[in-house]
Structure 1
Amino acid sequence: MVQVTKQAVQQWMMLEYLAKKHRYQSNINTFERKYTMLLEASEQHIETAHTEAINEWDDYIEWKADYDFLQIVKPKIQDIQKGNIEYIG
């Protein structure tokens, strides 16, 4: 049987979520530099464009997903920092 402390689980979870946060934020920063605008402006640009640019649309989908995932990860990091971890199983 393997024994694990709550602190070890908390540290492992924190590393996992910080890595995800870093990946999502890095992708977002890349798109912001590439298009020199924030996600909201890119969304408006795509919606009002007269011609469809497939590459921009593909980037927007990935950009939006990274943004949405980042919004999910941030509160989880706060919960872990506060020790709000529930063990199930």
Structure 2
Amino acid sequence: MLTINKSDIVDGLLLGLMADMHVVKDKLVYFENKYHVSYEVFEQTVKNQEEDYKQWDDYIEWKAYRHLFEDISRKISDVKNADFEVT
């Protein structure tokens, strides 16, 4: 029978989550550099101007990456605090 330490599981989970986080951060920086504004400023601009489909698509994608960033951050916190269950 194989015995796996909880710390090995934590390390493996964190490694995967950190890799995912790196990809998401790169996308967030990409949009900030593309538009030279924060997400909040871009959101207001998109919502208050005449519809621009390219910007609207970027807004939806940027928003999704922000949500993904928050989700991964929560998961990292849960893993670091050993707040998970193996089933």
TM-score range, shorter chain: 0.7 to 0.9
Counterpart position of 1:66? 65
Counterpart position of 1:86? 85
Distance (whole Å) between structure 2 residues aligned to residue 24 and residue 60 of structure 1? 15
Counterpart position of 2:28? 28
Q: Which runs of 5+ in 2 are unaligned?
A: none
- 1:55 Cα deviation after fit: 1.3
Provide the TM-score with structure 2 as the length reference.
0.88
Amino acid at match of 1:77: I
Distance (whole Å) between structure 1 residues aligned to residue 57 and residue 83 of structure 2? 37
Provide the TM-score with structure 1 as the length reference.
0.86
Moved more, 79-88 or 54-63: 79-88
% of aligned pairs identical? 30
Q: Which runs of 5+ in 1 are unaligned?
A: none
